[in-house]
């Protein structure tokens, strides 16, 4: 059994090396790491070339900044694991949660698992300021809309931690380049009548000054994407 970890990366010089080292300490399963640098301009690209190339199975460099979805699309053809997990590079999400996220797929209870920041005792750590509160509210609204359109019951549709049986993941044709990846893949999985199982995870949110990238406009895009792949495609 092998896990493929896809890491879309943009301007994460302060966290990327630590993240890779944490992932490499995981020993309950073999791991393939696919890192996609989305044209970083803060020294991340140079860090990868100088320190991380020999630690990572596949590195892809985008010549233009295309977005998170584009990075995942670039990685998709190179997946050789049995399970695929999406990992942001910012250390908001803890790789120590991998084992409990993978267990339902390994046990063949489901083929899709989402890590929920809402469930469990460790929900939404470090959310002491207004911007964090706004993001919680926005995520709640977007998850509700996703649930209504897709006839599902999720608590956190826009979590980074999305885990898939690799055969299913490789069959899903992805189109969105930006943060629209999240509503796109949730809708496409739901259209296949595949149940998404949620597992509680820990989460330590960043502020925009610390590098948080998602913006209000991405919420509007998410609503459009949900409608697009539910009714227009």
- pLDDT tens, 191-217? 999 999 999 999 887 554 444 456 667
Domain 2-232 in CATH 3.90.550.10? The answer is yes
pLDDT of 207 reads: 54
Share of the chain above pLDDT 90, in %: 75
When pLDDT is cut at 50, 70 and 90, the band that residue 146 belongs to is very high
Asked if 40 and 52 touch (Cβ cutoff 8 Å), the reply is no
- pLDDT tens, 49-97? 999 999 999 999 999 999 999 999 999 999 999 999 999 999 999 999 9
Cα–Cα dist 35/44, whole Å: 12
**Token code pair at residue 187:** 């809708």
Domain residue extents for the chain: 2-232
């Amino acid at each position: 059994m092998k896990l493929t970890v896809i890491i879309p990366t943009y301007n994460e010089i302060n966290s990327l090396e630590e993240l890779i080292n944490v992932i490499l300490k995981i020993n309950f399963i073999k791991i393939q790491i696919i890192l996609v640098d989305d044209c970083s301009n803060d020294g991340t690209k140079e860090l990868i070339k100088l320190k991380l190339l020999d630690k990572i199975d596949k590195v892809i460099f985008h010549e233009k900044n295309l977005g998170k979805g584009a990075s995942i699309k670039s990685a998709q053809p190179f997946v050789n694991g049995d399970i695929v997990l999406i990992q942001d590079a910012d250390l908001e999400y803890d790789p120590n949660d991998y084992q409990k996220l993978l267990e339902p797929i390994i046990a063949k209870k489901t083929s899709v698992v989402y890590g929920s920041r809402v469930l469990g005792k460790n929900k939404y750590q470090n959310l002491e300021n207004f911007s964090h509160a706004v993001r919680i509210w926005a995520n709640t609204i977007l998850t509700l809309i996703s649930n209504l359109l897709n006839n599902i019951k999720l608590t956190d549709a826009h979590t980074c931690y999305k885990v898939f049986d690799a055969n299913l993941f490789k069959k899903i044709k992805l189109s969105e380049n930006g943060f629209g990846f999240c509503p796109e893949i949730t809708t496409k999985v739901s259209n296949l009548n595949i149940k998404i199982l949620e597992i509680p995870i820990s989460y330590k949110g960043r502020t925009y000054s610390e590098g948080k990238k998602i913006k209000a406009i991405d919420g509007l895009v998410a609503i459009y994407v949900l409608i697009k792949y539910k009714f227009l495609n």
